[in-house]
Structure 1
Amino acid sequence: MTHAHTLGFPRMGAHRELKFALESFWRGDSSEAQLRDTGRTLRQRHWALQREAGLAQVAVGDFAWYDTTLTLAATLGALPARFGFDAKRLTLSQYFELARGRADQPAMEMTKWFDTNYHYLVPELSADTAFDGGVDWLFDEVDEALAQGLVPKPVILGPISFLWLSKVHGAQSAASAGFDRLSLLPRLVQAYRRLLAGFQQRGVQWVQVDEPVLCLDLPADWLAAFQPAYDELATPGLKLLLATYFDTAADHAVLAAQLPVQGFHIDLVRAPQQLDAWLAALPPQAVLSVGVVDGRNIWRSDLGRILAWLQPLQARLGDRLWIAPSCSLLHVPVTLAHEVKLDAEVRSWLAFATEKIGELKVLAQGLRDGVDSVAEALQANAQALAARRASGRVTNPVVQKRLQRISADMAQRHSPFVQRQAAQREALQLPPLPTTTIGSFPQTAEIRQARAAWRRGELSATDYLQRMRAEIEAVVRKQEELGLDVLVHGEAERNDMVEYFGEQLWGYAFTDNGWVQSYGSRCVKPPVLYGDVFRPEAMTVETTRYAQSLTTRHMKGMLTGPVTMLQWSFVRDDQPRDTTALQLALAIRDEVSDLEQAGIRIVQIDEPAFREGLPLRRTDWPRYLDWAVQAFKVSACSVRDDTQIHTHMCYSEFNDILPAIAALDADVITIETSRSAMELLDGFGAFDYPNEIGPGVYDIHSPRVPSVDAMVRLLQRAAEVIPAERLWVNPDCGLKTRGWPETEAALRNMVQAAQRLREGSALAA
């Protein structure tokens, strides 16, 4: 019988129950017992959904209070030494300090999970990391599932991937120079052995061990580490499913097949071409789990096509064939059941996590009992797919004609940066080390309540506009009082940096509850990009013009770039992504031109997802970087030399794509660097990045307010890498999620730090 399972399920809840429980606990409004009750309720609800869908096992270990990688580090006993915590006695409050920081310690570094918009906490290792065990939370969840009469399948990140995704803390120090974290593997494997033994003692049958790094271009010594590590992990009576996802692992199939594991999972949505290699290498008794339902996008699967394709595979493998989503369903919303306002036609084309495991149920039944047993479901599926293809809403002739007229000069500024820089300095008259913010200011409860009342029709459009303008004026006055040099309007009217623009563009649809976790309690609601993109009218001009009218200082126009609009949407799968990116670029280009004509001299086009979109394999990088750079430049290159173009990029490793970042030719780039103590800036210095740069001097993902001295030290460190005359001073990212008291305190310290540096003594210190 074909075995259906899932690699993981969203943990926030259909109505973001975990988010609200976490934030209530952090505010001190609820107890730890109440928070734990919410987590238990969500786990049991999600397990029930998996059981009702006929899945043979339920995923355990995909739940985390903040991040699964952080939880695993706490389980293994691999916590940052600088916090001084005992992993075996770790409390929830201490766990959250690791993720969010505290007064005397910045939070652990956070970065993107492969090419997704999920952020994980980067484990900090040293030569002294003992891996001597920690919390038993994962065992508790296995016991919880067993008590419910369920068959648990623990899900853990494998040891090679854990090490690869970790960092050596204090890598800049002489003591850490030359230390290879791979040398920690024997010690780490022993910690994994203890973990697996605990599962075996509880009667667990299968453990899913995720090794997504097998889909990367791993160095030879890392590949060679798999065999001895997994030889040590072999546990009698316990079966291991080695899971890969997000790309092909075909070139490592032979290596993997030699490991003492009992099954393999491969992503056939992202990399269908890898199947033959895995079939050729598959050991005679091993299970092959095929990811045939897209775990990262929300379009219905073509069940008839998949079923027809699976039938001969089942004939070959029999019960050794398992079916699953391509990856964890963490990356899609929970269910369509609560989507009341979503356009009905578009809704009929979609499947969220609950619907995706329902698709697995249909496929499993069809393989088990024959196609006729699921004929009704297949017919309904086929009709929905046909309706989408035939819909007149997908293609826009105006957009298609504009695409044909794109030329090379549309992606080129009029003059080189050196000439533009001189023109901008003359026009803008900014001081050295100019201070600014990334765009958003705190979205207070009053702002959110006003937006909700307006959407419900309880507040008129005029009243809503007046309230937002009052918020904008307050933000402008606050920035003037703090002494910032380049201001922003605060984005009070914006719900999300992608959704806000998508709502004003043709080709987008929007969900009510399509929330996806980004990090911690932070959730995003990606819009559904289903058709050709067109900007019918200006989106930000009047708001930005109003904000500029309130001050004599320069006001930045704030836009989201085409690559980020693409990456942070659920993107149509019926045309190449580069085509959709160019459609977005043309819409944003029109907005940039209108802002310039309205007298705005600085325009920021945010691209926090630029690195995120990079394919996992280097052979695929050139094509992506070519079209991503082109899309950004098409959006940005319509302006005069004295109009300054900024961009912002979020937590990422930039070193390997610095030529492409330089090719964007933004006049100023701001990046998140504070959690890495400016380490991320080193690559820009080594590359001799030519344009201006604003390395973040404090972490907005943490409530911690760093001192003036701490910011001065970071800026001094930055000035060792980038000439001070090309440095800007700014936070790591937008301030939307922060409260006003901490925001004001941090920005006041930031401005004072910049002033000290301008005096010269701090740079010379």
Structure 2
Amino acid sequence: MTAIKSSNLGYPRLGEKREWKRALERYWSGQGSQEELLSTTKALRLEALKKQQLKGIDIIPVADFSLYDHILDTSVAFNVIPERFQTGDGNTLTTYFDIARGNKEGVASEMTKWFNTNYHYIVPELADVKPELKDNRWLTYYLEAKEALGIEGKPVIVGPITYLKLGKGYQEEDFSDLLGKFVPVYEQVLKELGAAGVQWVQIDEPYLATEVSETELDYYREVYAQLAKVGVKLELQTYFESVDHLEAVLALPVEAIGLDFIHDHGETLSQLKEIGFPSNKILAAGIIDGRNVWASDLTKKVALVKDLLAIVKPEQLWLQPSNSLLHVPITKSSEVTLNPVLLGGLAFADEKLAELVTVTKGGNQGEATIVEELAANQAGITALNESPDRNNPEVKKAIAGLSALKNERQAPFSERIKAQKAWLKLPLLPTTTIGSFPQSPEVRQKRAAWLKGDLTQAAYDQFIESETARWIEIQEELDIDVLVHGEFERTDMVEYFGQKLAGFQATKFGWVQSYGSRAVRPPLVYGDVAFIEPITVKESVYAQSLTTRPVKGMLTAPVTIINWSFVRDDVPKTTVGNQIGLALRKEVEALEAAGIKIIQVDEPALREGLPLKRSRWQAYLEAAVYSFKLTTTSVADDTQIHTHMCYAEFDDVIETIDALDADVISIEASRSHGEIISTFEEHTYNKEIGLGVYDIHSPRVPSLEEILGNIRRPLKVIPVEQFWINPDCGLKTRKEAETIAALAKLVEATKIIRQEYQNK
């Protein structure tokens, strides 16, 4: 009997205990060989495939694995290698990592966010590119899975239109010609896969979930008409939003269409009920949330499957996550210390696959066969929703009273800045850093010992104070103007606050990949958020006591906490954002009362959370501004509020940045300086600003000339009186020697530029 099938779109790379990360970092440090790296990662890859096989997933993805980033994989496979990295030793792996991380000869390729997620991809550089197939990695991974495990896998490849749209170095009017260069390479990949017996290829086109124009729709028609001639079955996969022009997309010459039924605002099902679905195609329905960690309501999923079966036949239906499970942790089975009520409401990657298998079984064999699973699932969800943590009366009262709360600074910026400069007395082009300093092996070892109980609280506090004092002294020796305490007590800028506020829960092994080997452990925002006690005051006050220079207090803002956390899905995100804003407002007031008069409230993830559809932007941005101001606007005029933002297309959010009404903003800009500067050529921005003058994501120490250039370029469009000098992000992931060397260059360059202006 032909039946509904379960399908996956991608699996996390990290390993349950971050084995992937450690293997990479051993290799980069020279402690591990290339053979070691490849052997370790192959074992992890096969383990992930076997796990999916044993769970009973019918259609298992292969080639979703990466040693850094799947877009970079595609670039290197297609010979899209920037010229500055074509003079290496011939080792493909060395070149691969040089593009991502830079080397002595060249700056790393730009890195930016994958649509509206916290995953970063390496931007393809497409100027004068001559694509050719250098490595059919998709065939390699298909054969590996088949030979080692007997899995008839589904190779996953990013589609040509999405790949090129995510790149840079070409004019839009040249897109068609560029596409024409790449389609033959895709054809070659598919032909080789077909010759090896591949039955299905998943070709990811998430760009289709943006606001696609009629011209772009024609590109899809032309490209897939050409690829269809190869004869390999294609699953055209979209995710992260609903698809405009759905009827036209359904008509594309592919055998399966993958649609997201989770992040589509309920639009996809209603459209399919109206227009129907082709009888000769598979509907690959993303019914399990691949971006959040909460258990699905399986009763509702079974009902959704019934709705889908009113549109397609069982043999036309694949059930799958909404997107690759790259964005969630691997398994909750390791979280043995979590409150059972919270644990019962969670589903990480492995549990989501189990949910898929259960719903698929129910769809094929009837609900009676999954009664026990449905009952257990419903009990877990109900227990969490009815828990006291989700029903805090004081928080609900505060949210209900927001309309009576003043949410603006007392004076406009033009007046505030005078009061701030009067006491700060900073030089022209003041220097600062973004907040964190290197988390050395010793810092990590001490924290681990403290967490295990092998180091007393007093001894740990003393160590943190000694590191803080040492780095205050280093900053003074470097002659930096506005200092930071270094954040040695923090594991992560979001996780740390999640450990200190009510309504949050940290996990032990809930790691997800952010970029390269950088893994983050997003906190679970599972209940009503409330302030408990001061979070950062002790460390900030101690640091300030060591110096006469101003020390910044360092906080993370509401939207970034939301975008970098797993947020409860039983209430609107705007409600959660306002709860966080009210809690952090009390922390800001506590810092100010303790004498900390520069407070940085970082919002690096504001841009990345923008909905893919512009029609939804206004509501998101208005909510972001409101929650930021809830945090920051109760301070006195002479308290200076800073904020920091990461890579972004600032044309999209410049008006929102202005509306935040922060006194100083720093922007992570070194890899895309030209694009950032053009924003300020077109928009007037009257507050103070620092564009990051060197890239902290690369281990290389920038040259003096490089930093001088990165300062002089923005000063052509931004008044020198408004400009601050800083690295482009926090320095937590860097080593101490390179950090000090880079900051010394930063200060040296600043003094040269100051002298130039003073001599004018």
Q: TM-score by structure 1 length?
A: 0.96
Structure 2 counterpart of 1:491: 487
Q: Of 3, 6, 14, which residue of structure 2 is paired with 1:12? A: 14
Distance in 1, Cα, partners of 2:176 & 2:28? 36
Structure 2 counterpart of 1:96: 97
User: Which is worse superposed, 114-123 or 255-264?
Assistant: 255-264
Residue type of the alignment partner of 2:248: L
Distance in 1, Cα, partners of 2:358 & 2:103? 49
Map 1:418-567; keep pairs closer than 5 Å: 418-567=414-563
Q: Give the drift of 1:130.
A: 1.2
Asked if 1:224 is matched to 2:218, the reply is yes
Distance in 1, Cα, partners of 2:394 & 2:448? 34
Distance in 1, Cα, partners of 2:522 & 2:577? 16
Q: Give the drift of 1:510.
A: 1.6
Structure 1 counterpart of 2:82: 80
User: Which is worse superposed, 698-707 or 229-238?
Assistant: 229-238
| 2:250–2:277 CA contact under 8 A, matched in 1 | yes
1:720–1:397 distance in 2 versus 1, CA, 3 Å: same
Structure 1 counterpart of 2:241: 247
Structure 1 counterpart of 2:26: 24
Distance in 2, Cα, partners of 1:411 & 1:230? 52
Residue type of the alignment partner of 1:118: Y
Residue type of the alignment partner of 1:58: I
Distance in 2, Cα, partners of 1:236 & 1:718? 49
Residue type of the alignment partner of 1:530: Y
1:535–1:344 distance in 2 versus 1, CA, 3 Å: same
Distance in 1, Cα, partners of 2:230 & 2:163? 23
Q: Of 620, 626, 630, which residue of structure 1 is paired with 2:626? A: 630
Return 5+ residue gaps in structure 2 as ranges.
none
| 2:543–2:551 CA contact under 8 A, matched in 1 | yes
Map 1:722-733; keep pairs closer than 5 Å: 722-733=718-729
| 2:60–2:154 CA contact under 8 A, matched in 1 | yes
User: What is the identity percentage for the equivalent residue pairs of Structure 1 and Structure 2?
Assistant: 46
Structure 2 counterpart of 1:195: 189
Q: Of 298, 304, 313, which residue of structure 2 is paired with 1:309? A: 304
Structure 2 counterpart of 1:290: 285
| 2:256–2:284 CA contact under 8 A, matched in 1 | yes
Structure 1 counterpart of 2:123: 122
SS class of match (2:17): coil
Map 1:233-244; keep pairs closer than 5 Å: 233-244=227-238
Residue type of the alignment partner of 2:538: E
Residue type of the alignment partner of 2:286: G
| 1:498–1:565 CA contact under 8 A, matched in 2 | yes
Residue type of the alignment partner of 2:206: P
Q: Of 157, 165, 177, which residue of structure 2 is paired with 1:183? A: 177
Distance in 2, Cα, partners of 1:281 & 1:124? 40
Structure 1 counterpart of 2:665: 669
1:373–1:762 distance in 2 versus 1, CA, 3 Å: farther
Q: CA RMSD in A?
A: 1.6
Return 5+ residue gaps in structure 1 as ranges.
169-175
Per-residue deviation, residues 649-680 of structure 1 (Å, max 9, x unmatched):
01111111211111001111111111113422
| 2:556–2:601 CA contact under 8 A, matched in 1 | yes
Distance in 1, Cα, partners of 2:744 & 2:175? 39
SS class of match (1:677): helix
Q: Give the drift of 1:278.
A: 3.8
Runs of 4+ in structure 1 over 4 Å off: 176-179, 761-764
SS class of match (1:292): strand
User: Which is worse superposed, 344-353 or 176-185?
Assistant: 176-185
SS class of match (1:322): strand
Asked if 1:61 is matched to 2:63, the reply is yes
Per-residue deviation, residues 185-238 of structure 1 (Å, max 9, x unmatched):
111111111111121111111111111111111333222211111111114441
Distance in 1, Cα, partners of 2:608 & 2:707? 28
SS class of match (1:512): coil
SS class of match (1:748): helix
1:182–1:281 distance in 2 versus 1, CA, 3 Å: farther
Structure 2 counterpart of 1:173: none
Residue type of the alignment partner of 1:430: L
Distance in 1, Cα, partners of 2:276 & 2:614? 24
Asked if 1:141 is matched to 2:141, the reply is yes
Asked if 1:588 is matched to 2:590, the reply is no
Q: Give the drift of 1:281.
A: 5.2
Asked if 1:108 is matched to 2:109, the reply is yes
| 2:187–2:230 CA contact under 8 A, matched in 1 | no
Asked if 1:578 is matched to 2:562, the reply is no
| 2:433–2:730 CA contact under 8 A, matched in 1 | yes
Q: Of 257, 264, 268, which residue of structure 1 is paired with 2:261? A: 268
Distance in 2, Cα, partners of 1:639 & 1:762? 34
Distance in 1, Cα, partners of 2:171 & 2:609? 31
Per-residue deviation, residues 416-435 of structure 1 (Å, max 9, x unmatched):
11111111111110111111
Q: Give the drift of 1:763.
A: 10
Distance in 2, Cα, partners of 1:300 & 1:235? 41
Residue type of the alignment partner of 1:298: V
Q: Of 694, 703, 706, which residue of structure 1 is paired with 2:702? A: 706
Map 1:138-177; keep pairs closer than 5 Å: 138-147=138-147, 148-168=149-169
